[in-house]
Amino acid sequence: MAITIYDVARDANVSMATVSRVVNGNQNVKPSTRRKVLESIERLGYRPNAVARGLASKKTTTVGVIVPDISTSFYGELSRGIADIATMYEYNIILSNSDERSERELELLVDHLGKQVDGIIFMSDSVSEEVREEMSRAPVPIVLAGTIDTEEQFATVNIDYEQAAYESVVKLIENGHKEIVFITGPLSRDINRVHKKAGYERALKEADITIREEFMIEMEDTYDAAYESWEKIQQLTVQPTAFFAVNSTLAVGVLNGVRDAGHSVPDDYEIICYEHSNLTRIVRPQLTAAVVPLYDIGAVAMRLLTKLMNEEEVEEKQIQLPFHFAERDSLS
Amino acid sequence: MAITIYDVARDANVSMATVSRVVNGNQNVKPSTRRKVLESIERLGYRPNAVARGLASKKTTTVGVIVPDISTSFYGELSRGIADIATMYEYNIILSNSDERSERELELLVDHLGKQVDGIIFMSDSVSEEVREEMSRAPVPIVLAGTIDTEEQFATVNIDYEQAAYESVVKLIENGHKEIVFITGPLSRDINRVHKKAGYERALKEADITIREEFMIEMEDTYDAAYESWEKIQQLTVQPTAFFAVNSTLAVGVLNGVRDAGHSVPDDYEIICYEHSNLTRIVRPQLTAAVVPLYDIGAVAMRLLTKLMNEEEVEEKQIQLPFHFAERDSLS
DNA sequence: ATGAAAGCGCTAACAC
DNA sequence: GTGTTAGCGCTTTCAT
């Protein structure tokens, strides 16, 4: 049996309450008894039981993190930002993968809440109705990181994806392009449909460029799908001269498809994308991209959550972080 | 205040014990009362409090995962394997990053143990003496995933890194190479020094090839360091014709260094490496590599941990998984 | 500054 | 098959 607070109390000749005060840094303890207690703790090797503490205090200093897939660099980077700030504020993290399946997200929400987490960071590509309801009922604060809430109901941390898309496409247009293909993951995702596609279209409209339906190349969100999309792109009735991709994985897939087919980037085709990983710097040519500050989004989301859990006043619950462009070689 | 087991008991006109039995699937409950209880649970929206359960039962169905950096594809993939099996056996995961700092690892061990985890999966590049001691004292089982234990004291899951290194270098030798550079991360890490370097040297020795000290190119474990190492490689008194790299990130760095300097792979230089990510398939030429089954290592480690937590007999605590080679284009 | 005592919400004997 | 009753190890009033 492990050493309990009671053993320490007896050993130090004080009450449990005093030991508790010492352990929790309460100032109302005479220095000499504090020393005595500390000495007993040390000698007995006492470690507070966080579960008992959690039951008594109704705080677990644990937050739930629900993420589609921790093995992707996108969510890995985001999660690292979350974890670092969590550590800073002495929270532990319960991390679970949802694979973006709404039912699974629901289960995880209930599961984490059952574990009495003090707050939740939620990441996904869309917030389903059932998930929204469950989150609305949650007794603890929830922050969405890198995740769109179309209803603007929850606290969120993002960049202005629409604006980033717009500026990306403007760069292409300024380079003389008129036939620009939009390389996108599933348009069922709010972020692709409501934000990125919208920015793309705004730029084209503003430049009086025809928006072609066949230029919306929608695919599964994988490198291989993007690589193979080159097949489809070749069949287009109007041939494009540039690509705007919603993330670096898709961009690299298209890049390799184009290059393996014997074409040159940026001579034959120019490419711009959102940057979600260092892939953009590793491929040749290196890709010009709108850099999404994933680590920071995670960090700010966690910081916001600590404030919410602390019931501090927050001025703005929908945070937009700045983004910037990394000018590289896929655009001349 | 949330609904408790007591509220349900009162509502269903039974005792707490009966509610507990129903919730925990105990068979000793008459179907009709079970139904009655379930109905109350449903109506009141009762959710068991896992913290209270943990305190009473001394089991939290939570395991601690200590990882150097979740944002790397290596540990991301490993962690995903762990998480999936954890989910399968209904465990939650507390995930913490150590940045490979031994003092931090120590803190995390103590921290997780304080949270009363039922077991721990530990990942690192070496097991320090203090960490070894703390782990030896731990009251719950611990499994090392993708992590060397030179003392063979703990349960581990790995591949035979030495053999993979050996076979990699043999491939190079069979292709006629005699001047083969070893591109490695810090040799302070057991895995690099004790296993990978040893395999490299065994292959050379067996072929009666001189082992040159200057061919051990040690560097920080980053793409940029590897990219810049090309500078150093050029200065070597004997010029190499091939590279064996301890991971795909370093291999790609060298590859880009070589190619950006105007040389060709595999015509001027051949490259082989351990594969830790899909980078090997994305670069051009694609890299031939010894594929490390990261997901499986994580999954098997977690499965092993469930057995240990269950006090089941396990035949072998030092598990070696098979590996294979992906033959691609960096070797002709 | 310190102690006594009542819970926190649940599990697990044990009794019936 | 069901109920009673101790705890699990801690925090937190409330006294003193």
Q: pLDDT tens digits for B285-294? A: 999 999 999 9
Q: pLDDT tens across B152-164, in order?
A: 999 999 999 999 9
Q: Which of A1, A41, A44, A70 to probe by mutation at the B interface, max B CB count within 10 Å?
A: A70
Contact A85, A145 (CB under 8 A): no
Interchain CB contact of A31 with B (< 8 Å): no
- Assess whether pLDDT exceeds 90 at residue B242: yes
State whether A87 and B95 contact (CB < 8 Å).
no
Residue A28 has a pLDDT of 87
**Residue B282 pLDDT grade (very low, low, confident, very high; cuts 50, 70, 90):** very high
Beta carbons within 8 Å of B151's beta carbon, 6+ residues apart: B127, B132
User: Residue A81, Cβ neighbours under 10 Å: how many?
Assistant: 24
**Residue B252 pLDDT grade (very low, low, confident, very high; cuts 50, 70, 90):** very high
Residues of B in contact with A256 (CB under 8 A): 282, 284
- Assess whether pLDDT exceeds 90 at residue B239: yes
**Residue B4 pLDDT grade (very low, low, confident, very high; cuts 50, 70, 90):** very high
Interchain CB contact of B4 with A (< 8 Å): no
Radius of gyration of chain B (CA): 26
Instruction: Report the C-alpha dihedral over residues A20, A26, A28, A32, rounded to 10 degrees.
Output: 70
Strand C atom within 7 Å of B53 CB: yes
Q: How high is the mean pLDDT of chain B? A: 97
Interchain CB contact of A285 with B (< 8 Å): no
Residue lying closest to nucleotide C7, CA to C1': A56
DSSP secondary-structure letter at A181?
E
Interchain CB contact of A5 with B (< 8 Å): no
Contact A297, A146 (CB under 8 A): yes
Q: Give contacts of B 169-208 with A, CB under 8 A.
A: none
For residue A285, cis peptide bond before it (omega within 30 degrees of 0): yes
In single-letter form, the type of residue at position A173 comes to I
Q: Nearest residue on chain B to A255, judged by CA atoms?
A: B282
Stretch A127-154: mean pLDDT, rounded? Answer: 97
Strand C atom within 7 Å of B57 CB: yes
State whether A47 and B79 contact (CB < 8 Å).
no
| Protein CA B54 to sugar C1' C15 (Å) | 26
Contact A182, A168 (CB under 8 A): no
Q: Strand, coil or helix: what is B264?
A: coil
Residue B127 has a pLDDT of 96
**Residue B118 pLDDT grade (very low, low, confident, very high; cuts 50, 70, 90):** very high
Residue B27 has a pLDDT of 86
CB-based burial label for B176 (10 Å; 0-12, 13-18, 19+): exposed
**Residue B1 pLDDT grade (very low, low, confident, very high; cuts 50, 70, 90):** confident
Report chain D positions within 7 A of protein CB atoms: 1-13
Strand C atom within 7 Å of B87 CB: no
- Assess whether pLDDT exceeds 80 at residue A1: no
Strand D atom within 7 Å of A26 CB: no
Burial A263-296 (b: 16+ CB within 10 A, else e): eebbeebbbbbbbbbebbbbbbbbbbbbbbbbbb
Strand D atom within 7 Å of A57 CB: yes
- Assess whether pLDDT exceeds 80 at residue A11: yes
Which tokens go with A44? 């007995």
Strand C atom within 7 Å of A30 CB: yes
Strand D atom within 7 Å of A72 CB: no
**Residue B264 pLDDT grade (very low, low, confident, very high; cuts 50, 70, 90):** very high
State whether B49 and A116 contact (CB < 8 Å).
yes
> SS in 3 state form for B64-101?
EEEECCCCCHHHHHHHHHHHHHHHHCCCEEEEEECCCC
State whether A92 and B83 contact (CB < 8 Å).
no
Contact A146, A72 (CB under 8 A): no
Q: Closest Cα of chain B to A105: distance in Å?
A: 13
A258 vs B2, which has greater pLDDT? A258
Residue A27 has a pLDDT of 86
| Protein CA A35 to sugar C1' C1 (Å) | 14
Q: pLDDT tens across A91-135, in order?
A: 999 999 999 999 999 999 999 999 999 999 999 999 999 999 999
Q: Which residue has the tokens 């810090």?
A: B186
Q: pLDDT tens across B168-226, in order?
A: 999 999 999 999 999 999 999 999 999 999 999 999 999 999 999 999 999 999 999 99
Q: pLDDT tens across A178-231, in order?
A: 999 999 999 999 999 999 999 999 999 999 999 999 999 999 999 999 999 999
Residue B224 has a pLDDT of 97
Q: Which of B5, B51, B296 to probe by mutation at the A interface, max A CB count within 10 Å?
A: B51
Stretch B44-66: mean pLDDT, rounded? Answer: 97
Residue A18 has a pLDDT of 96
Strand C atom within 7 Å of B237 CB: no
Contact A85, A302 (CB under 8 A): yes
Phi, psi of B298 (to 5 degrees): -65, -45
- For B141, half-sphere exposure in the C-beta direction (CA atoms, 13 angstrom radius) is 19
Phi, psi of A244 (to 5 degrees): -120, 115
Instruction: Report the C-alpha dihedral over residues B47, B48, B52, B53, rounded to 10 degrees.
Output: -160
Residue A300 has a pLDDT of 98
Q: pLDDT tens across A250-275, in order?
A: 999 999 999 999 999 999 999 999 99
Contact B132, B155 (CB under 8 A): no
Residue A271 has a pLDDT of 98
State whether A51 and B55 contact (CB < 8 Å).
yes
User: Residue A93, Cβ neighbours under 10 Å: how many?
Assistant: 23
Shortest CA distance to B122 belongs to which of B74, B63, B189, B72?
A: B63
Strand D atom within 7 Å of A261 CB: no
Residue A291 has a pLDDT of 98
Which tokens go with A103? 């039912």
- For B89, half-sphere exposure in the C-beta direction (CA atoms, 13 angstrom radius) is 24
State whether B55 and A60 contact (CB < 8 Å).
no
Residues of B in contact with A254 (CB under 8 A): none
CB-based burial label for A13 (10 Å; 0-12, 13-18, 19+): exposed
Beta carbons within 8 Å of B211's beta carbon, 6+ residues apart: B201, B204, B205
Q: Express as a percent the part of chain A with pLDDT over 90.
A: 98
State whether B51 and A116 contact (CB < 8 Å).
yes
| Protein CA A11 to sugar C1' D6 (Å) | 25
DSSP secondary-structure letter at B238?
S
State whether B97 and A84 contact (CB < 8 Å).
yes
Residues of A in contact with B134 (CB under 8 A): none
Tell me the C-alpha to C-alpha distance, in Å, between residue B118 and each of A12, A39, A51, A54: 30, 29, 12, 17
Q: Which of B92, B117, B123, B137 to probe by mutation at the A interface, max A CB count within 10 Å?
A: B92
Strand C atom within 7 Å of B26 CB: no
DSSP B92-152: EEEEEE-TT-HHHHHHHHHHHHHTT-SEEEE--S---HHHHHHHHH-SS-EEEES---TT-
Q: How high is the mean pLDDT of chain A? A: 97
DSSP secondary-structure letter at A183?
E
Residue B116 has a pLDDT of 98
Stretch A269-289: mean pLDDT, rounded? Answer: 97
Burial A123-151 (b: 16+ CB within 10 A, else e): bbbbbeeebeebbeebebbbbbbbbbbee
Which tokens go with A73? 């660099």
A2 vs B114, which has greater pLDDT? B114
